[in-house]
Amino acid sequence: MPEVKPTIVSSENPQVYEDVHVHAVYDEIAPHFSSTRYKPWPIIAAFLSSLPTGWVGVDLGTGNGKYLPLPYDRPGAVWTIGLDRSINLLKLAKRAGDVDREVVLGDVLDHPWRRGAFDYAISIATIHHLATPERRKLAVQRVLETISPSHGRALIYVWAVEQDELSKRSIPASADNDGQCSSPSGQTGRGQDVFVPWVLAQPAESKPKTRRKGKSGKPATPETPETGVDAEHSPPKVFNRYYHMFAKGELNQLVADAASALGLVLGDAPADGIVATGEGEKECGVQIVQDGWERSNYYVELRRWER
Amino acid sequence: MVRLITHNLLACHAKGCTSNNFPLQFQDAAIELRDAEFNADFLRGFLPRIEWTALVGAARQLGDTSLPAEQPEMLDDEFLQKLHHVLLEVHVEEGAMVCPNCKHVYPISNGIPNMLLAEHEIG
C-alpha cells in the first residue's frame, strides 16, 4: 500500500484543482471504490435511526449512497436524497441497497433546494476534499442552510490527522510540521493537505467499467508504474485523491465560523420564556449536540433552533 | 431518479435567481412507473413538508390528475395510496427541468438530474 503523502494545493483555482484531484478520480475508481464502502459507521447509523418517521434529508457527498438505505431497523421511515459531483458514483448510489434511490448531480457548495426544506443533512467524508479553508467553511454553511431553521439536524464527518492504530493508511511523518500546512499559521486546529493514493488493479478479464476511455468528462491523471507488469493485465493505476486531514478542534472552529457567517448563535437554545429579544424578533442558532473522534475521523452533530 | 418527492425540494440556484425559482417545470419528460414499498407512516409524517400546489401541478404536467387541488384533511388509505404513487412511483428518466423565473435548464439523464452550474452561473 503506497503511503499517504503531504501535498500543497497548487492551483490558483481550487475548483479546477478539485476537479482534477477529487472528482475525476472518483469517476475513474467508482466501481472499485464502491466495493470497499459498504459498512456504515456506528454513530452515523445511530443518528439516522434516531430521526422521526416522515423526515426527509440530504446526503451531501453521498458517494455510492451507502447511507441512503438507512436506518436498517426502520427502512423507509425517513427519506434521504443523495447529492454528489461524481456521476459514476451516483449511478451506483441510485440503486443502493438494490432499491430505487433519489440522487442529484450537484456540488456541496451550491444550494439547489428550497431554503431549509430538509429536516436533516449528513455530509460524510466529503468536506475534507475541498481545497481551501474558505470552501470548507462554505460547505458547512450549506449544510446549515439546507436544514430547517427550527428543528434541522446535521451530522458531519471528516478525516482526522489523528489516525486509528488499525488504519491501513500510513500517516505522513510531517503531519505536524509547519512547512507542509496550507493554512495560515497562528490559527488553532491546522490540518494537513495530503494525497491519498487509490491503487486500481486492472485485470483484463473483469470490470470493464473501470476503463472508460473515450467517454466524455475530464480525464483523471493516473501515475502508471511501468515495472513488473505482465502482458495479460493492464498495469495497475495509482490515483491520488486530495484530502485535507483535519486537526483536533478544526471542525468545530469551522462550524463556529459558518454559524457566524450566517448570523447564527452557536450554543444551546435558550429555554422557553426567558428570551429577551424584541417582539416578534426571532433568535436563530445552532447547537453542537455531540462531537468527537471515531475511527480516524472527526465528527460533529448539529441541531438548529429558533426562539 | 427524479421522482416528485425530489422535485418538490429542488429549486433553481442560478446566479441572481432568488424569487419565483420554484417549482421547476418539466420539459420533454420521459417517465417510467415503478412500484415502491408503501409506508403510510412515512407519508403522514412527510405530508406537512410538501409544497402541495407544486406537487399537484408537477403531477399534472406528467399526466397524473389523481391528487385534489387542496390537501384533504382526512388522510384515509385511498388518499395515501394516491400520494404514494405520485411521490414515489413516477420516475422521470429523461428530459429537463426549467426554472420558471430565469429559464435555466437542468437536464435529466438516466434518471439523474444535473443541478451543476457553469462557473459564471454560480451565485
- The ipTM assigned to this model is 0.96
- Residue A283 corresponds to which amino acid? E
Instruction: List the end-to-end C-alpha distance of chain B, in Å, as a whole number.
Output: 26
- DSSP reduced 3-state for B12: coil
Question: Position of cell 442529484?
Answer: A104
How many Cα atoms are found within 13 Å in the side-chain-facing hemisphere of A48? 29
C-alpha cell at A49: 435511526
Q: SS3 of A57, please?
A: strand
Rounded to an integer, what distance in angstroms lies between the CA atom of residue B68 and that of residue B52? 10
* A114 reaches B (C-beta below 8 A): yes
Cell 515495472 belongs to A227
Query: What pLDDT shows up at residue A16?
Result: 83
Ordered alpha helix ranges (H), chain A: 14-18, 24-35, 42-49, 87-93, 133-146, 250-261
Interface of B with A (CB under 8 A): 1-3, 5-6, 9-13, 22, 34, 36-37, 39, 41-47, 49, 51, 91, 110-117, 119, 122
- Residue-wise pLDDT for A277-304, tens only, equals 555 678 999 999 999 998 889 999 999 9
pLDDT computed for residue A194 by the predictor? 85
Provide the 8-state DSSP code for A97. Answer: G
Number of domains in chain B: 1
Which residues, 6+ apart, have CB-to-CB distance to B18 below 8 Å?
A: B123
Domains of chain A (ranges, CATH numbers): 5-173+244-271+280-306 (3.40.50.150)
Tell me the H-state helices in A82-233: 87-93, 133-146
H/E stretch holding A266 reads: strand A265-266
List of chain B residues whose C-beta atoms are within 8 Å of the C-beta of residue A110: 13, 115-117, 122
CATH of the domain at B71: 2.20.25.10
pLDDT in tens, A190-235: 888 888 887 777 654 444 444 444 444 444 444 444 344 444 556 7
Per the CB < 8 A criterion, the answer to whether B42 and A80 are in contact is: no
pLDDT tens per residue across span A50-78: 999 999 999 999 999 999 999 999 999 99
Give CA–CA dist A276/A267, Å, rounded: 16
Q: Looking at the complex, report in whole angstroms how far the Cα of residue B15 sits from the nearest Cα belonging to chain A.
A: 11
- Interchain proximity A94–B113, CB inside 8 Å: no
Q: Is the pLDDT of residue B22 over 90?
A: yes
Higher-confidence residue of A276 and A190: namely A190
Give residue A184's pLDDT.
40
| Prediction pTM value | 0.85
Contact in structure between A142 and A109 (CB atoms under 8 Å): yes
Cα–Cα distance for residue pair A159/A157, rounded to 1 Å: 7
Domain limits for position B30: 4-121
pLDDT at residue number A5: 81
pLDDT score, position A272? 66
* φ, ψ dihedrals at A154, nearest 5°: -145, 155
Angle at alpha carbon of residue B60, lines to B59 and B66, rounded to 5°: 75
What is residue A253's predicted lDDT score, i.e. its pLDDT?
96
**Average confidence (pLDDT) over B35-41:** 96
CA distance B89 to B91: 6
Strands (E), A96-222: 103-105, 120-124, 153-159, 192-202
Statement: residue A106 has pLDDT above 50: yes
Chain A residue numbers touching B39 (CB-CB < 8 A) = 76-77
Total Cβ atoms within 10 A of residue B33: 10
Of residues B7 and A197, more confidence is placed in B7
Angle formed by the axes of helices A133-146 and A250-261, to 10°?
60
CB A105 within 8 A of CB A77: no
Q: Which helix (H) or strand (E) holds B85?
A: helix B77-88
Q: Is A238 helix (H, G, I), strand (E, B) or coil?
A: strand
Q: How many CB atoms lie within 10 A of CB A170?
A: 12
CA distance A111 to chain B (A): 6
The letter for the amino acid at A198 is W
> How many CB atoms are located within 10 Å of the residue A82 CB?
26
Contacts of A52 in chain B (CB under 8 A): 45
Mean pLDDT of A166-170: 55
Determine the Cα–Cα distance for residues B60 and B39; give it in Å rounded to an integer: 23
Q: Which three cell numbers stand for residue B55?
A: 406537487
- What pLDDT digit, counting tens, does each position of A174-188 carry? 444 433 433 343 344
Q: Under 8 Å CB-to-CB from A221, ≥6 apart: which residues?
A: A20, A24
